[in-house]
Amino acid sequence: NAGVTQTPKFQVLKTGQSMTLQCAQDMNHEYMSWYRQDPGMGLRLIHYSVGAGITDQGEVPNGYNVSRSTTEDFPLRLLSAAPSQTSVYFCASSWLAGSGELFFGEGSRLTVL
Amino acid sequence: AQSVAQPEDQVNVAEGNPLTVKCTYSVSGNPYLFWYVQYPNRGLQFLLKYITGDNLVKGSYGFEAEFNKSQTSFHLKKPSALVSDSALYFCAVRDSIDQTGANNLFFGTGTRLTVIP
């Protein structure tokens, strides 16, 4: 059981480039989300989804785009990378029912030069 | 609005001593409270949660947490610290009346625990 899988683990971009961070889960979770982790700021929610075809903005959505075409996949797109988007990105998922504790991927470390 | 505060960036404790990592929260309704642990270059791992019921919650690796409604706190504790407990700990909260219907957690800024041999 792979859980939540994120790719790539590391990426270096130049300002203005675009890229997609991939996230897949094999637990049939309805809820998926993307967080960014920055020193001294904890984890901040970027976007989330409660099911295929449904997405919504979190706390810090600007500069990011998401889609949810299947239950399993929730890619995060950086449209035009900026140095302020240098961060570690985590994908998380859970069932909607119950308390909803999150299962996290291993993270993707992005550096924008 | 939901928020979490972890007042200590760093906690140092000697191996074998009890440890406490502090967390306070703010929500409009009833809180769902969580603790997660992050080891270097890894994702967050779930430790324990409080939803309702007994104020003392037991979790993984011998950790426990005490919910105190009057003080709006959810401190993480362990009776005897191990060197392997050294990691970054995050407290998180979700409001029971979250209108989004989603499981969005709001995280504190994290506390780095160092257990000294």
Place of tokens 């993707």: A108
Q: pLDDT tens digit string along B73-96?
A: 999 999 999 999 999 999 999 887
Q: What is the mean pLDDT of residues B10-16?
A: 98
Is the model's pLDDT at B24 over the cut of 90? yes
Strand spans (E) along chain B: 3-5, 10-14, 19-21, 24-26, 31-38, 44-50, 56-58, 64-68, 73-78, 87-95, 106-107, 111-116
Structure confidence at residue B95 (pLDDT): 83
Higher per-residue pLDDT: A97 or A8: A8
CB B4 within 8 A of CB B21: no
Pick from A31, A90, A99: CB nearest B49? A99
Chosen for mutation from B104, B106, B111, B112 (greatest number of chain A CBs closer than 10 Å) is: B104
Whether A40 sits inside 8 A of B100 (CB atoms) is no
- CA-nearest residue of chain B to A54? B102
Is the model's pLDDT at A59 over the cut of 70? yes
Place of tokens 């700021």: A41
Q: How many Å apart are CA B114 and CA B117, to the nearest integer?
A: 10
Please give the structure tokens belonging to residue B97: 């009346």
